[in-house]
Amino acid sequence: MGTYAVTGAASGMGRAAAERLRGDGHTVIGVDLRDVEVIADLSTPAGRSAAAAEVLERAGRLDGAVCAAGLGGIPGRDGMVQQVNYFGVVDLLEAWRPALAAAGNSKVVVFGSNSTTLTPMVPESAVRALLDRNPAKALRVVGRFRGRSAPFAYASSKMAVTRWARRSAVSPQWAGAGIRVNVLAPGIIATPLLEEQIARGEKDAVEQLAVPIGGRGKPKDVGDWVAFMLSPAADFLCGSVIFLDGGSDAYFRTDDW
């Protein structure tokens, strides 16, 4: 049995993943703002380094990590969204890399989103600013788009984290050290995050998004996918982005292949 760090383990898909892993007999160290082993605020550098250190203290070596903590794109918190969704993944994984390498055959699941391919006109310079570790610029860029800054902050954070994951996945420091990094890109999943989006004015956007299979995804099913992506069956999976979205990405980008 393995030891896994799971961020966002107090709610939604992170919680479902943690429950599934525990049910399979693994040890889970949850990281979140409440109700988990490691209480930390991933929106600040100090919170991230404290969280990373406490997990390492508890774990020693890590068989895997699941980075599910995230915030939806709601007006008024663009900087927080970029901090949690991008740096809340990258800073922790960089800090945990030696512990993941020590396990020999470890696996990381990063939560992306199908907003990375479905949000039109996301400013590329915001994505690049995050990858360049320039959060002030990333925030400035999305702030120029009045009325669109919240979806742009969200999509830019998920595009940057997806690109970071794919770049890392194939590098000597990660693939070369036996660490598989992959991205799970959910679509509309019924979680508190989605409820918040709907309550805060995104109801139409959520309801009008084409979902060919219909309905909404269930957190438990996502937890099962995470467990699969951490299992030996995923030994040959590296740098992949798995869309779990009822067909929305395929619908809008059918021939984009």
- 57 vs 196 by CB, closer to ligand NAI: 196
Using rule CB under 6 A, residue 13 touches ligand NAI: yes
Active-site residue flag, 154: yes
Using rule CB under 6 A, residue 32 touches ligand NAI: yes
Buried b (16+ CB within 10 A) or exposed e, 231-249: eeebeebbbbbbbbbbbbb
- 14 vs 239 by CB, closer to ligand NAI: 14
User: CB of residue 141 vs ligand NAI: minimum separation in angstroms?
Assistant: 20
User: CB of residue 205 vs ligand NAI: minimum separation in angstroms?
Assistant: 11
Using rule CB under 6 A, residue 193 touches ligand NAI: yes
Among 3, 106, 113, 162, binds ligand NAI (CB under 6 A): 113
Among 5, 6, 10, 92, binds ligand NAI (CB under 6 A): 10
Contact of 83 with 160, CB cutoff 8 Å? no
Site for ligand NAI in 65-84 (CB under 6 A): 68-71, 84
Buried b (16+ CB within 10 A) or exposed e, 80-104: bbbbbbbbbbbbbbebbbebbbebe
Using rule CB under 6 A, residue 139 touches ligand NAI: no
Q: Which helix (H) or strand (E) holds 167?
A: helix 149-169
- 72 vs 103 by CB, closer to ligand NAI: 72
Q: Could you please report the per-residue DSSP string of 122-147?
A: --HHHHHHHHTT-HHHHHHHHHTSTT
Among 11, 116, 149, 162, binds ligand NAI (CB under 6 A): 11
Q: How many other C-beta atoms are found inside a 10 Å radius of the C-beta of residue 140?
A: 13
Using rule CB under 6 A, residue 93 touches ligand NAI: no
Distance, in Å, from the CA atom of 30 to the CA atom of 10, rounded to the nearest integer, reads 8
- 31 vs 129 by CB, closer to ligand NAI: 31
Distance, in Å, from the CA atom of 190 to the CA atom of 26, rounded to the nearest integer, reads 25
User: CB of residue 70 vs ligand NAI: minimum separation in angstroms?
Assistant: 2
Q: How many other C-beta atoms are found inside a 10 Å radius of the C-beta of residue 67?
A: 29
- 38 vs 103 by CB, closer to ligand NAI: 38
Contacts of 119 (CB under 8 A, 6+ apart): 151, 152, 154, 155
Using rule CB under 6 A, residue 99 touches ligand NAI: no
Distance, in Å, from the CA atom of 90 to the CA atom of 96, rounded to the nearest integer, reads 10
Would you call 204 exposed, middle or buried from its count of C-beta atoms within 10 A (0-12, 13-18, 19+)? Answer: exposed
Using rule CB under 6 A, residue 192 touches ligand NAI: yes
Which amino acids are annotated catalytic?
154
Q: Which residues would be at the binding site for ligand NAI (CB under 6 A)?
A: 8, 10-14, 32-33, 40-43, 68-71, 84-85, 111, 113, 186, 188-189, 191-194
